[in-house]
Amino acid sequence: MRKLVQPACAFAFALAVIVALLALSSESPQRTLVAFFAKPLSSWWYAGNLLNVAGLLILAGTGSAFALRAGAFNLGGEAQLYASALVAAVILAPTGGPAGLAAEGFPRIAFALASAVATGALVAFIPGVLKASLRVSELITSFLLSAAVTPVLDWLISGPLRDPEQNLLATRAIDPAFRIPPIAAPALFNASFFVAVGIAVCGALFLGKTSPGYRIRISGTAPEFARYSGFSVKGATIAGMTVSGALHGLAGFFAVAGTWYMCHSGLTSGMGWGALACALMARANPLAVIPAAILYSWVETATDAASLSARFSFDSSALVQAVIFLVISVQTLGIPFLREKRRRP
Amino acid sequence: MIDDPIAIAAFAIAAMAAPLLFATLGALCSEYAGALAVFMDGAITLAGFVFIAITAATGLPAVGFVAASLVVTGLLWAVAVFTERTGANPFLTGLGVNLFAAGFTSWLSSAIFETQGAVSLTGKAAAAALSFPRIAGFPIAVCSAIALALFVRYAKPGVALRIAGESPEFLAARGFSPPRVRIASWCVAALFASCAGSLLAAGLGAWVPSLSAGRGWTALAAVYLGFRDPIGAIAAVLLFSGADYLTTIAQGTGKIPGTVILGFPYALSLIVFAVIPRSRRATF
């Protein structure tokens, strides 16, 4: 029970900040707050879309949790998601992408899936290797790499890969044959949610019940002990980051195949940071990422609904993430390497 | 009117270097105290917003600068106290500041100016802000660097700041409180961030959400490229600004897309972090 106190406080503080700001900026605070608390569950459209976004967050959040467990901190989730989504959108476009990739049906969607996962993994693999080989902190390299890659992706979407027939800054819509259909329209909720839950469960089992999972956990929490035991701490770091990127890549694939059906400029809109916030709230436990992602998605949906009601919009997700980061960062968190390492007299 | 292309380039580089040098000096103070100034990007963005909002309300850029300094210093003081009292990870709290700045300025710009995009100064306020010569920022920043260099070498509190990160035990033995020195370092960093943010906003006559354009992160790299020394920081910042100027020229020729150039400061910082020896890197 005590383990729940800190994540619960982080969530409660974030909720309080958003509610206060919405109430302050609305001409009718009562109506806005009613919309905030009631709208997300008032219709299947809201609830289904909430769960759909939660599914993407569960995948990426499980990835973030994986890196945390391996003793690494993946701050490049934004670009890993974005790059993977772009790769998926290009491969699944109606004309078949580059010559030779025009195979239809299962082979092409499998190729798109594998490419998206590989792209996310590659973007995360680089900071992992830099940490393992040059001992450059992945905290800064994963962020900087993500920030450097994102404008290039923006340029590709607004330039060479843009759909010339649309006014949107987006790639062409993917072939309808490759779209994951909604389970109950009009909400976008689809099978990817169940895949995400399955992967979170498998991730928890892998980390908790298998020998490689044990090695990764020990390397993350007690690297010196891991070295004495003959485990490769460097290997665990690289593996943790790569798997983390791969899961972000999978989320990017589902974002295109199941939600937007194209890759538009700024597609992730903070989802990478949101996934990290969920992983931190879940104390890097993949199973706990599931409720954390649903709660996080609920706050986002509720804020959107309330903003619509108040005709007032702002970047609420950044504030939610800020509060969660601040509260979760305190030393009582049960992940040893997150604790402050400075020497104190 | 200056016609000499070398002089034009030198003035442009100096104008680009001024806010970056302020940011680097702020990051250096935090680095001395043992924490990477991850918050610098958010602090610059927030300072720029407060500068524009208060200048728009009063028509006085000086009042805007003072307000920006007070708000950003107050925020970073609170976060530094929180970090010290709870033993929080300063990297995470720094990221929290960046996210808070993005979300809070978004809310304020919607609530006050009814826009989520650029907030421009108009009329006399714009004229007053734009009348501040951009080139004047560089000599002020260089003087600040020299003053900081003298402070950390010869002043007792400056020496305490310089060794706060590496030898907190020694600092405590000399009668200083390491947590207080660390908190003070964040406050000084906030003042420098306010200079950077105000200068950037004054140059544009507006605030935009991407005001800092990665300068906070470039500043972190410049700290190490400048050998963790205020005078070295001047050289490092001029190097970064020179590279920035060249890419701007390349952008003008149409050979490099403008969007791609937005990622340049981050790529350059990444390269610097990857190539500098571990002994000169942060302790985060």
Note whether A345 contacts B172, CB cutoff 8 Å. yes
Q: Choosing among A26, A144, A316, A338, which should be mutated to test the B contact, i.e. which has the most B CBs within 10 A? A: A144
What is the Cα–Cα distance from A208 to A216, expressed in whole angstroms? Answer: 10
**Rounded to an integer, what distance in angstroms lies between the CA atom of residue A81 and that of residue A92?**
16
For residue range A168-217, list pLDDT tens digits in order.
889 999 999 899 999 988 889 999 999 999 999 999 999 999 999 999 99
A249-305 pLDDT tens trace = 999 999 999 999 999 998 988 899 999 999 988 989 999 999 999 999 998 888 888
B243: which chain A residues are within 8 Å (Cβ-Cβ)? none
Res A98 pLDDT > 80: no
DSSP string, B164-197: HTT-HHHHHHTT--HHHHHHHHHHHHHHHHHHHH
Please, are residues A165 and A174 in contact by the beta-carbon 8 Å criterion? no
> Structure tokens of B242?
């020179």
Cβ contact, residue pair A326, B90, below 8 Å: no
| Domains of chain A, residue spans | 2-343
Q: Which domains does chain B have, with CATH numbers?
A: 5-281 (1.10.3470)
Alpha helices by DSSP H, listed for chain A, are 5-25, 29-38, 44-69, 77-91, 106-129, 138-158, 192-209, 211-221, 223-228, 233-254, 271-281, 286-310, 316-328
CB contact under 8 A, B171 and A322: no
Select the residue of B91, B217, B263 nearest A150 (Cβ to Cβ).
B263
Residues B35-40 have a mean pLDDT of 90
Smallest Cβ–Cβ distance between A344 and the set B168, B214, B259 belongs to B168
Q: Are B15 and B135 in contact (CB under 8 A)?
A: yes
- Please answer yes or no on whether B178 and A338 come within 8 Å at the CB atom: no
Closest Cα in chain A, distance from residue B113 (Å): 12
One-letter identity of residue B52? I
pLDDT, tens only, B182-218:
999 999 999 999 999 999 999 888 999 889 888 898 8
Count of beta carbons in the 10 Å neighbourhood of residue A209: 9
In this structure, what token pair is assigned to residue A238? Answer: 């690289």
What is the pLDDT, as a whole number, of residue A2?
62
**CA–centroid distance for A248 within its chain:** 6
Q: What is the DSSP letter of A173?
A: P
pLDDT value at residue A28: 83
Model-level pTM?
0.86
Which residue, among B245, B242, B192, B182, has the nearest Cα to B216 in the 3D structure?
B192
Instruction: Select A2-343's CATH number: 1.10.3470, 1.10.260, 1.10.10, 1.10.1740.
Output: 1.10.3470
Determine contact, residues A124/A118, Cβ cutoff 8 Å.
Answer: no
Residue A333 has pLDDT above 50, yes or no: no
Q: Is B127 on the interface with A (CB under 8 A)?
A: no
Whether the per-residue pLDDT at A332 is higher than 50: the answer is no
Mean pLDDT of chain A: 87
CB A139 within 8 A of CB A325: no
pLDDT tier, A100 (very low <50, low <70, confident <90, very high otherwise): very low
